[in-house]
Structure 1
Amino acid sequence: MATQLNRAPCEPLRVSGDAIVNATGERIVLKGTALGGYLNMENFITGYPGHENEHRAAMASVLGAEKAQYFFDRLLHYFFTEEDAEFFASLGMNCIRLPFNYRHFIDDQNPYEFKKEGFALLDRVVNICAKYNLYVVLDMHAVPGGQNQDWHSDSSLTKAIFWDFRVLQDQAIELWKAIAAHYRGNPVVCGYNLLNEPADPEHKRLIAWYERAEKAIRAVDPDAMLFIDGNTYAMDFTQFETVLPNAVYACHDYAQYGFPGYPLYEGAEEQKQKLRKQFERKVTFMRSKNVPIWNGEFGPVYADAKEPEAQHINDCRIKMLQEQLGIYDASQVSWSIWLYKDIGYQGMVYLDPSTPYMKLIAPMVAKKQKLALDFWGVVNKDGVKDVYSPFIEGLKKMVPEHLQKKKYPHIWTFDRHVERVVRESLMSEYIGWEFAELFAGKSMEELEELAKSFSFQNCVKRDSLNKTLREDSVKSNKKALS
């Protein structure tokens, strides 16, 4: 493994103008990755269909509660270890974004007592990161009722009911207060990312919630930075007017060139300009208010080696990523790439296809592709075109054309809303039970081996991506020293 670049121990950070700085006022640019799939599982990251809570319930129905819990506990144990932290630190980056699901802390049937197990899981990552001088941004990725309409808010719905119920909003604030009390004064935990990709159709409820959350957290921890995502999946700041103290404002900067079904990035000037304009549109608010910018998520999906033209496709996507990194570097924007580890779509490292887990789930991953169940992992929709195209066209005839854009988020087409409900929620729930049946009859020893597939030693490194990230870090370090 490459030698870790020298880096001073973590120290308290704060906001000063448009910069994140340390105690001496030195600008610190956070460059990192997210542990997506760890404390907030996602279907394309670990392979199951649908929503995490349904996946866990399906596994318990097949294995029994005790064996299912054992499997998930062991998966989390192997998912991030000191080997992972050592490798990540060797690339010269300095920050881990740690997404978490409220369900690790709150039992919906007993919502007024926080589970100690959730804090232990956070502590484990924070303590490992401390050994390698890596900052941690805690990211509330899923809240009661769901803060957005997507699978990764784990609501089992396609509507963000978090915004409709004050009691759910209060639960999230109370959880942040408990987390802030737990980590107050810990220099490794440099900030709290209050909500991942919120999507409030009215906008004003999100802004009011941020203001209430800030006051509540500051009463407990007056010093930690807050990371504030824009509305509509961290892309819309048009309704924001004021800035909160000691806060970093966060956009997410995914680019269409990095996804299947869109033109490849070839480096044309027109494409470069589109990337720049896309980013600058998202950060207009931050520029106007002179506050730090954090790009909390970005990164392409990579083609599987078995796909036609895979090498060329991936070369183009790496080239696009390099262009984006150059845009961020020009104004010293902090960022966190999505993501560190998965089964092969985006991860800096990914599970070896020969591992027991990958061999077990490979038929179901292929079926999910064919049925186009996971939005993030779908290469194409041709396998279901004969079923859904006439169905959607028939539905469209039932709805006046001028109303087909009325449903929020308005950037989604009518077809996209149908896909969210039918394929990615309803059908995924059915196929989720089929996925769980793969584990039927597994012994504790077999479950241990399946979970061990997620260990660093059983992962493949995505060399072209890691080389790009390391080169960017080295360049930044040289710039800081000059």
Structure 2
Amino acid sequence: MLLVNNFSTLAQGLSMLHAAGTKMQDANGKEVVLRGFNLGGWLLQESYILQTDTLNSQWRIKQGMLRTMSEAEMEDFYRQYRANYITKADIDFLAKQGFNCVRLPFHYDLFLTAAQRHARTEVIRDPQNAKKLAAYVQSLSTWYDQNQLFTDQRLEGFRQIDNVLSWCAANNMYVILDLHAAPGGQGTDRNINDNFRPLDMWKRRDAKGRAIYQDITVRFWEKLAARYKNDGRVAMYDLVNEPHNLNAANGMSPDNKELSAFYARLITAVRAQGDQHLLLLEGNGYGNEYTNLTPDKLAIRDKSNLAYNAHRYGCPNTADAADANPNQINLIKNLVAFRDRWQVPVWVGETGENSNDWFATAVQILKDQNIGWCHWNIKRVNSQASLLRIKPYGSILTPEGRAALLHNVQFANCIPSRDVVAALTQPSSFTAPFAPLTIPGTIQAADYDLGRAGVAYQDAYSAKVDFKVDTPWNLGGAYRNDGVDIQLSSDSPKNGFSVGHLAAGEWLNYTVRVASSGAYAVQLRVQPAATPGRLTLKLGDAVVGTIAINQQSNAAEWQTVTLTTAPLPAGQHTLRLCIDQPVGQISWLRFMPAGRASAGGE
């Protein structure tokens, strides 16, 4: 792995952060720009992270398990899962890459006692049963009135937070505490907030007419503030993750009045504990829209140490792209203008789920504006976009699948994505070999250099800049997270991948070491297209060979074609494979001294 420390503002000797105008500063007045990773999928499972999309949320995963196992067995599995998914090894790895913070998303149910969580599990068994849900809400009301919520300091939620704080402090990293699944659910998307009913946080009333889920959330932050108010390892409290669909269509105000009033309650409650931590607010619309949430609109006395959040996915990364609504701040121009208008720190609490080229562009433009960020996500099953790829495990609803998952999520068994690390930590001009390549020898087409589009490769479509467009940047969906379209291929037995979906003008760079000067015979393993193709090889700027490839006569037929290069000088060079006219797929290139070529396979 690349062990990169490319960030100029690492937290040194962690101390409480505070807002100083638009900046976050430590106790010594030194600016701290937080750049790190989200630990998503750990203390709250999101179905797409585990590739259980048909189950849609954590409670539905649990519901499926309860069909074949007891509640005690299910709880034991989840204890093992949480023990394996994130450990000190994961945090140490993040620190070695140069990241200085983690955001810790968690579910409120980890702060319930076993008996209290059992009451919630009874709803999970039959969530459409209104009587069961009402009974759970009544139980919550009783526990709330009797001050029996979040009082046991031995609860797993507290223990997990303390573990992360300890692991991060050992690496000089800050932690952002993120209530990702709030009581009742802060929106309509149950995959994010694990709710039984849409918007229940805002709409549910108990027998006394109270918005009980909101009351419980206030109580929750009172308890966390009392515990961590003097803890400098905590950078910020992220009070509620991604409120969304709070609008007139769902029977609420069109201008965030409910959210504004709730934030006022939360902020006041935290400050009443004597806690001056930075408080991170998230706007409506998945964390981005701040009408009636600006400092002047919040009904609070103490407006200090507030920070504002943006979540950036599938949007343009240009400095001039803007939204007509100045309170919609996921686009850079709006984000900067909002920061400067209100003189508050802004922070991109989630960003990612895109190509390496998009990552690198986002990091650079945020760096130019001195805005920190937290990448989503550290781990995903079989995803090249995550920092650590979890190998496929089967089904979480089978004993074999669960056993494999517990094994595969462990740090030692995950596959680091070196290209993702490079995109997030290296300058835009960075390039490096992806694999050691020598001539003579065989070069796998998918083993082109590390680096962004226009530097290590060129592809017609290399980043998603419109969230409404679902076209993947890697149309093959395999191996790497670039715009290059890589797919599984049985014709490439060495690494199992080929490059396809080619277009004229695309190219791939390979850093190669030529052992001895001279001309070489080059075999190219290709699948022809429906039209004639033509490929060119360059060494540096010099063309060293070109070959025409006949159009496809037999579907899926692979061919080995051969060209002879001009003399190649010895030493390290950049070899470029240019697509003048596309072929169907390219599997590998084999270089042999001229006159010694054979028709053998890879």
**TM-score of the aligned structures, taking structure 2 as reference length:** 0.57
Instruction: Flag the 1:274–1:72 CA change in 2: closer, same or farther, 3 A.
Output: farther
Q: Does 1:17 align with 2:21?
A: yes
Q: Tell me what 1:351 maps to.
A: 390
Residue by residue over 1:280-328, the C-alpha shift from the partner in whole angstroms, topping out at 9 and shown as x without a partner, is 2355433310111101111134xxxxxxxxxxxxxxx211221111111
Structure 1 position 137 matched with structure 2 position 176: yes
Whether 1:455 aligns to 2:410 is yes
Amino acid across the alignment from 2:160: L
Aligned to 1:252: 311
Per the alignment, residue 209 of structure 1 pairs with 262
- 1:360 alignment partner in structure 2: 394
Note the residue ranges of structure 2 that are not aligned, 5 or more in a row: 121-135, 144-148, 205-210, 248-252, 297-302, 324-330, 431-602
Within the candidate set 65, 71, 74, 2:71 is matched to 65
Contact 2:186–2:199 (Cα < 8 Å) also in 1: yes
Which whole-Å CA distance do the structure 1 matches of 2:42 and 2:320 have between them? 33
Aligned residues of 2:320 and 2:333 also touching (Cα < 8 A): no
**What letter is aligned with 2:68?**
V
Does structure 2 conserve the Cα–Cα contact (< 8 Å) formed by 1:19 and 1:291?
yes
**Alpha carbons of 1:223 and 1:472: their partners in 2 closer, same or farther (altered >3 Å)?**
farther
User: Is the strand fraction higher in 1 or 2?
Assistant: 2
Alpha-carbon distance, 1:239 to partner: 2.8
Report how far residue 247 of structure 1 moved.
1.0
The separation in 1 between residues aligned to 2:156 and 2:290, in whole angstroms, is: 35
**Structure 1 unaligned spans of 5+:** 258-270, 302-316, 353-357, 362-434, 476-482
Deviation, 1:447, is: 5.1
In 2, Cα distance between equivalents of 1:7 and 1:27: 9
Give yes or no for contact 2:11–2:32 (8 Å, CA) kept in 1.
no
Q: Distance in 1 between matches of 2:185 and 2:320?
A: 32
Equivalent residue runs for 1:149-188 within 5 Å: 149-150=188-189, 151-157=191-197, 159-165=198-204, 166-188=211-233
Task: Specify the code of the residue in structure 2 equivalent to 1:17.
Answer: G
The alignment status of 1:76 with 2:82, answered yes or no, reads yes
Report matched runs for 1:298-377 at 5 Å.
298-301=351-354, 317-345=355-383, 346-352=385-391, 358-361=392-395
How many percent identity over aligned positions? Answer: 27
Residues 230 and 275 in structure 2, CA contact (< 8 A), matched pair in contact too: no
Q: Deviations over 1:136-184 (max 9, x none)?
A: 0000111122111112111144x21211242111110100111111212
After TM superposition, give the deviation of residue 274 of structure 1 in Å.
Answer: 6.5
- The count of residues paired between Structure 1 and Structure 2 equals 361
Q: Does structure 1 retain, via aligned residues, the 8 Å contact 2:319–2:365?
A: no
SS of the residue 2:373 aligns to: strand
1:29 touches 1:333 (CA, 8 Å); kept in 2? Answer: yes
Task: After TM superposition, list the pairs within 5 Å mapping 1:186-265 onto structure 2.
Answer: 186-199=231-244, 200-201=246-247, 202=253, 203-242=256-295, 244-256=303-315
- The residue type equivalent to 2:425 in the other structure is R
**RMSD, aligned CA:** 2.4
Counterpart residue identity of residue 466, structure 1: V
State the distance in 2 between where 1:471 and 1:226 align. Answer: 30
**Cα distance change of structure 1 residues 272 and 249 upon mapping to structure 2, 3 Å threshold:** closer
Q: Which has the higher contact order (CA 8 A, sep 6+)?
A: 1
Decide whether the 8 Å contact of 1:4 with 1:89 is kept in 2: no
Alignment deviations for residues 56-91 of structure 1 (CA, whole Å, 9 cap, x no partner): 232133122222222211111111111111110011
CA distance in 1, matches of 2:288, 2:177: 20
TM-score where L is the length of structure 1: 0.70
Q: Which amino acid aligns with 1:349?
A: L
Per-residue CA deviation, residues 169-200 of structure 1 (Å, 9 max, x unaligned), is 11101001111112121111121000111122
- Contact kept? 2:100, 2:173, Cα under 8 Å: yes
Contact 1:31 1:336 in 2 (8 A): yes
Query: Residue 123 of structure 1 aligns to a residue in which SS?
Result: helix
Residue 238 of structure 1 deviates from its aligned partner by 2.8
Letter in 2 for 1:63: M
Equivalent position of 2:490 in the other structure = none
Q: Please state which structure has a larger fraction of its residues in helix.
A: 1
Which range moves more in the overlay, 211-220 or 47-56? 47-56
